Chains A and B, each alone.
Chain A
């Protein structure tokens, strides 16, 4: 069991990540996150909070004009922040699987499904055609696709949204990755398919021992899946902790806002939101608490300083001055 001793404690460690655009806008301000092997971690926030950009930085697929300004990303103990494209190619699709948000746009419309899944194996393994085909069919069955021989001959437009999302998951897990990044994989799907995909990700986590970084804006799916949650607001984590703990006792007002946005039977027909509507995102350097304009409990200090993470209890922290007492 020598391997276990040399294995780093965290499969993914992000330290003070800052991502900026060429215009100087700070898209991700200061994100630090850690994922242990086998853990499912959620990254929650509204659109524009920097969740997708953070994961793009981790996967090294930032769009042109956007770059990492500060911070380090360690994957399996290796610093992957500024590695070359060739080295990146060895990691992505192999030890790091990614499921993108929009399945219909992530597949090549001109290539048959089977061939697209096979491409991952072609690049990363030395298997021959027959072995690869077996593995493609096996993985397709593992993601609950039926009639796989037939399906592999189809083109993406011939598949339903749920099937396409499964194909994408199959591509991400075919090389048994150590970390699976799922960027809002369920937003475009209806409830029943959504529930199936969530179950499937959980199953992959258990059976293949892959850690998962799950990105969503919806606490109701995060609750079903994640062990730990990072709540992101305008590029800064504002609350971190175990999912059950955060849902039971949210400390930051932003987390409370996200939680109260979900319609529940008690609030039927009543107003959902008690806090101010979303204002335009501020992209300059952060000098004070960014949530101050929307926070109902705002006081003098919030407008002057940027809050640190304050310990609430074991493994639960929030960036709010109300906790600094």
Chain B
């Protein structure tokens, strides 16, 4: 058994760029390597523009790397098409986006959107899909009445719950959450965080949690990777990194987030 079999996700020396011309490439991600173990919740932190979302898009296949390799469950995935991904991994990688209002189709009911990922897989019949969708709705803390509602009838926090439901209904191995709580009110944010903590107990998935809020990352994640200008500058256990940051940038980030105050129990 090689190292790749142990890690659910492994990224090796990846370079990514949005430049149109190949002659003059400006890299968004440079020589980035990262590994995730099964069941791990990895927090990815960094300023805006540091490449957090690009990394998420690389893993989901929205962006192809210029060079480097990405392994998911030991298989190379960086050049697979979406169709191949669905076939091979049964929607094994799912994503929750930052803005709940723009992640739903306004003309489809919540129930229909929840069922869609299962319909694509074609391995269940209609009634099975419906019971599964009702079940997941319950698990994200919404009553069955929401099944026939439209996205505009729900609040941001409720929509983000549905987004989590849509992602988890196919029982993925890896959930990528791209700033899922940063556009929410503090109290609603707390509800969604409570939900994620709960769901991690019920479902068996690894989580790549992208955020710039260090307090949230500390609350939720086991390990943390700090991204600065397209490279990972520090990585390790959350408690170790937060208590004893080595990199200058990490130190800056921690002091900006007011984590020192948190430690002193001033809220």
Contacts and interface: CB of A to CB of B under 8 A. Distances in A.
B130 interface: no
A261 B219 contact: no
Contacts, number: 98
B247 interface: no
Given A161-B48, A220-B215, A271-B197, A247 B267 contact: yes
A268 B190 CA distance: 12
From B186, B218, B257, B266, residue with most partner A Cβ within 10 Å: B186
B262 A265 contact: yes
B266 A278 contact: no
A191 B253 contact: yes
Contact of A271 (B49, B194, B253, B256): B194
B258 A278 contact: no
Interface in B185-206: 185-191, 193-194, 197
Nearest to A161: B48
A261 B189 CA distance: 8
From A195, A262, A267, residue with most partner B Cβ within 10 Å: A262
Contacts of B49: 160
Interface residues of A, number: 37
Contacts of A46: 185-188
B21 interface: no
Contact of A190 (B48, B219, B267): B48
B256 A223 contact: no
B267 A262 contact: yes
Interface string A250-288: 000000011111111111111111000110000000000
A217 interface: yes
Contacts of B220: 263, 269
B263 interface: yes
A217 B216 CA distance: 16
A240 B255 CA distance: 29
Contacts of B224: none
B214 A261 contact: no
A192 B252 contact: yes
A268 B188 contact: no
Interface of B: 47-49, 141, 155, 157, 185-191, 193-194, 197, 212-216, 218-220, 252-253, 255-258, 261-263, 265-267
Given A195-B258, A261-B190, A271-B197, 13 more contacts: A191-B214, A191-B256, A192-B256, A217-B185, A218-B186, A223-B266, A247-B266, A258-B187, A263-B219, A269-B220, A270-B197, A271-B194, A272-B194
- Across the A-B interface, the 8 shortest Cβ-Cβ residue pairs: A263-B219, A261-B190, A195-B256, A272-B190, A190-B212, A261-B186, A192-B256, A190-B48
